[in-house]
Structure 1
Amino acid sequence: MKIIIYILLLFFTPLVLLGQEKEQNWHMPDLSTDFETCAEGTFIELEDSIPIRGTLYRIRVPENWNGTLLNDLDYYKSANSPRNLKLLKMGYALSGTKRRPGRMKAYDPAHEIHDLISVLDIFEVSFGKPAYTIQLGCSGGGTVTIAMAEIHPDRIDGAIALCGATSPWMANTHLDAMFVLKALLAPELPIVDIPLRGKETERITLAWKKVVEEAQQTPEGRARIALAITIGQWPAWGGKGNAPVQNPDPNNTEELQLSMYYSLLGLLPSRGTFGTNMIELAAPGQIKSNTGVDYAAFFDNGDELYKNAVKQLYKNAGVKLKDDLNTINTSPRIKADASAKQWWSKPGRTHIGEPKIPFLRMSTSGDGLVYPAMVKGYEDLVAEKGYSELLRTAYVKRWGHCTFTTGEWLAAIETMVKRLESGKWPSTAPKDMNKLAKKLDKNSKAEYFNYRTVKKYNRTWLPSINDFVGDEN
């Protein structure tokens, strides 16, 4: 095992515990040895791979460890980020993994959870049991965090998921907007089973881009672009890279539609929008499906201001919205394979709305990869199952996926620590979260805000008994 410095944990024995008071934190590792030094302080580091699976992991314990461990899917590569170095200086121990090679074509959040549990095992053997263990992560790290809050309350005390997806939900949310575009603008173009990369992917990307660009030049095309975003419950202002336009006034129809157009261009099937392609490749079979979907009802569930804009755009274009909804509803559907639903039904691969520990879920409003509307679906599911007291949600007004500032991360972590220590949630109101973020990192932007979400999320999916056993019926 590669150990940056030798760790003299043998001094940390049950014999020592006999003379310690409870408040002396018996779980602290021996700190009499030399430490690795960095600009943010001194720490012990373990870096190695998990036996058999070979996943790389990293653990750092600072000299001033406060007893709390933060475990993150992506810690291996982000250990020297400003955020994680600051957390180390604040006294947090940090641990986590590196994403597995070949993940794009063999994605499995359940395996990633196994790796994270292994890291917790290694930590406890090496340093003792933390006072609190908080699982956290962004994107795929958020996905496994949600699952761990549901299925591993024995191993973690709190969870913070940032821009975390429920994969089958995300796949179908992506499908809906593309299905509207296919039905109304380009029946000949594919929207499923698109390769991750290569000439065929490039051809499909260029074809879809041309269709959308041409649609934007006509009143009816602009109306249909807005309809796709609204039915799909995609953000009107969101995507990858830099925002091409300012965050629009949702009461200004032209401004809102233009933002929808630019957002859509960045979210069309391409090598850069690999998220749902990766989900499609994970299971044996196709998980996307819209059999039995009523797209008129899906439209009604959308953002109220988006719907107002769609109605105004259709009126301006002289096209009947009802006719287009009928065209969409009568278009050939896509059916999920029973093998795919069976695969995604397994614990750790999907979410069922039952967090069993304090759980803070966060999203950026301009996330075009993991759509913020999914948070509404999870909130409603949690409420239905009676777990609302354990869940809090928060939103940051910013373009992009996982574009949180250091201060916003720190505010989330500090909020969770207060919840664990007191047994009660502190305020998660935007003004209080922003105040806390600025206190913890004065140089960071702090843009928590009250987010206007959809009326009802369209794509909540819970596996049935037939899904578990792989029944086609």
Structure 2
Amino acid sequence: MLTATGLSQEQEQNWFMPDLSGEFKECAEGTFMEIVDSIPLRGTQYRIRVPENWNGTLLSDLDYYKSANSPRNLKLLKMGYALSGTKRRPGRMMAYDPAHEIHDIISVLDIFEAHFGEPAQTIQLGCSGGGTITIAMAEIHPDRIDGAIALCGATSPWMANTHLDALFVLKALLAPELPIVDIPLRGAETDKIAAAWKKAIDEAQQTPGGRARIALAITIGQWPAWGGPGKAPSEAPDLNNTKELQESMYQSLIRLLPRKGTFGTTMIELAAPGQIKGNTGVDYDAFYKNGNELYKKAVETLYEEAQLSSANDLNKVNDFPRLKADASAKQWWSKPGRTHVGEPKVPFLRMSTTGDGLVYPAMVKGYEDLVKEKGYSALLRTAYVKRWGHCTFSVGEWLAAIETMMQRLETGEWPSTTPEDMNKLAKKLDKNSKAAYFNYKTVQKYNRTWVPTINDFVAQ
């Protein structure tokens, strides 16, 4: 007899029980048991590997299914860690929902425990979307994990509005006719918009006033002056060299303008019913004051060289027609697992590459300040790696993060997380890896922290 799910009663009771009749597998990194299967109720594929020399710790990663044979994960397997995780769901681009991804991860944890017993400790970790759910797991599922490591993890509504702010300044000052929201993921219209935006920014870069306004937009938006997809066009700029810094801002910006290759916030827009991006009531003069001090210094120099007034331009931006976020979108994103509220309840290490043009490093500062406000600072540590790109951490940097968390869980005290000590640890654990932890000069205050209220939750 079939149940409402389309499965027999026996299948429904044991839907999480894959076939474990196979032999232990061998690879260059040792011998391990592997489960590769899918969750029938949702079809999400997952993978579990438990080495013969299991040390009792499970590393749970949203993206483990496809990354199992990466050098990092094979090394972790050899070191005795069990690993588990999923494959990204089909259709994720058009129907993104981190809460569903969390549900899948918890299902895989159930499967693991059913076959291998409860781990001595479970660490949730992941990069990008994996970092996003890791932050949420630390906040709302401390009963299922003992520690969390989020790398380049976004808080989606924060990320969407940080993305909006720089483009809004550019639209107000340079290209009022060009769109900044509701841009298709791909297609001829997207290509047309991308070409128009690139033309507007290229032309602006040829004039003193245009260069000043590009710098103003990056500073207000709290985007990195050096960061984006692909290969870095140059080394990280000297932040005290105005010309070098502005050129880097321009080179980064043209890689981050709306186009089919910068779909990160389009996913967020498409996820909820209605538009999550909005800037009603925003004071862009105050947002500018919160920016990186050296970026602001460059902006003032550039405006002086252009014989223009930054105050006048800020007034123009503040007077420009605003975009109102839809209550339905804020309601959707306010649900547990879809946003973050600054309350990690397990030891939590949060890391970012500072050249990340997708998940802006400034968000780490926003979360850090929110955690302090909520009284959870003892559980949080943050670290930055000086490298261009999104989730471009080396194997050694990953291993240093995991070992740091292991020491925190085993001793109850955080070991040193200074860049010097993290780099030493990274090189010790993988001598062939680059190690580029460093002291990062971030923004004064992050502009787009959002914690849902009861009104958001009920869509008022």
Counterpart CA distance in 1 for 2:146 and 2:235 is 40
Q: Deviations over 1:86-106 (max 9, x none)?
A: 000000000000000000000
Aligned match for 2:46, one of 39, 57, 65: 57
Aligned match for 1:280, one of 246, 264, 269: 269
Q: In the alignment, which residue of structure 1 is the partner of 2:109?
A: 120
Aligned match for 1:391, one of 369, 380, 383: 380
The residue identity in structure 2 corresponding to 1:219 is P
Deviation for aligned residue 1:51? 2.1
Aligned match for 1:452, one of 411, 435, 441: 441
Q: Deviations over 1:106-154 (max 9, x none)?
A: 0000000000000000000010000000000000000000000000000
The residue identity in structure 2 corresponding to 1:335 is K
Query: SS of 2:386's equivalent?
Result: strand
Question: In 2, are the aligned partners of 1:5 and 1:35 still within 8 Å (CA)?
Answer: no
Question: In 2, are the aligned partners of 1:124 and 1:130 still within 8 Å (CA)?
Answer: yes
Q: Which runs of 5+ in 1 are unaligned?
A: 8-33
Counterpart CA distance in 2 for 1:302 and 1:178 is 16
Q: In the alignment, which residue of structure 1 is the partner of 2:307?
A: 318
Q: In the alignment, which residue of structure 2 is the partner of 1:150?
A: 139
Q: Deviations over 1:435-456 (max 9, x none)?
A: 0000000000000000100000
Query: SS of 1:449's equivalent?
Result: coil
Task: After TM superposition, list the pairs within 5 Å mapping 1:323-334 onto structure 2.
Answer: 323-334=312-323
Task: After TM superposition, list the pairs within 5 Å mapping 1:194-213 onto structure 2.
Answer: 194-213=183-202
The residue identity in structure 2 corresponding to 1:85 is L
Counterpart CA distance in 1 for 2:371 and 2:17 is 43
TM-score scaled by structure 1?
0.93
Q: In the alignment, which residue of structure 2 is the partner of 1:78?
A: 67
Aligned match for 2:55, one of 52, 58, 66: 66
Question: In 2, are the aligned partners of 1:149 and 1:158 still within 8 Å (CA)?
Answer: yes
Q: In the alignment, which residue of structure 2 is the partner of 1:405?
A: 394
Q: In the alignment, which residue of structure 1 is the partner of 2:340?
A: 351
Aligned match for 2:246, one of 257, 269, 278: 257
The residue identity in structure 2 corresponding to 1:161 is A
Aligned match for 1:420, one of 409, 412, 427: 409
Aligned match for 1:374, one of 363, 372, 376: 363
Q: In the alignment, which residue of structure 2 is the partner of 1:181?
A: 170
1:245 aligns with 2:234: yes
Determine what percentage of the aligned residue pairs are the same residue.
Answer: 80
Question: In 1, are the aligned partners of 2:232 and 2:388 still within 8 Å (CA)?
Answer: yes
Counterpart CA distance in 1 for 2:181 and 2:123 is 37
The residue identity in structure 2 corresponding to 1:124 is E
Q: In the alignment, which residue of structure 2 is the partner of 1:20?
A: none
Counterpart CA distance in 1 for 2:154 and 2:235 is 26
The residue identity in structure 2 corresponding to 1:146 is I
Query: SS of 1:448's equivalent?
Result: coil
Aligned match for 1:88, one of 62, 73, 77: 77
Question: In 2, are the aligned partners of 1:2 and 1:48 still within 8 Å (CA)?
Answer: no
Q: In the alignment, which residue of structure 2 is the partner of 1:267?
A: 256
Counterpart CA distance in 1 for 2:433 and 2:100 is 34
Counterpart CA distance in 1 for 2:340 and 2:175 is 34
Question: In 1, are the aligned partners of 2:17 and 2:111 still within 8 Å (CA)?
Answer: no
Query: SS of 2:434's equivalent?
Result: coil
The residue identity in structure 1 corresponding to 2:352 is S
| 1:48–1:2 distance in 2 versus 1, CA, 3 Å | farther
Counterpart CA distance in 2 for 1:148 and 1:2 is 24
Q: In the alignment, which residue of structure 1 is the partner of 2:88?
A: 99
Q: Deviations over 1:180-230 (max 9, x none)?
A: 000000000000000000000000000000000000000000000000000
Count of matched residue pairs: 445
Q: In the alignment, which residue of structure 2 is the partner of 1:6?
A: 21
Q: In the alignment, which residue of structure 1 is the partner of 2:208?
A: 219
Counterpart CA distance in 1 for 2:117 and 2:124 is 17
Query: SS of 1:290's equivalent?
Result: coil
Counterpart CA distance in 2 for 1:206 and 1:167 is 27
Aligned match for 2:295, one of 299, 302, 306: 306
Deviation for aligned residue 1:4? 8.7
Question: In 2, are the aligned partners of 1:4 and 1:45 still within 8 Å (CA)?
Answer: no
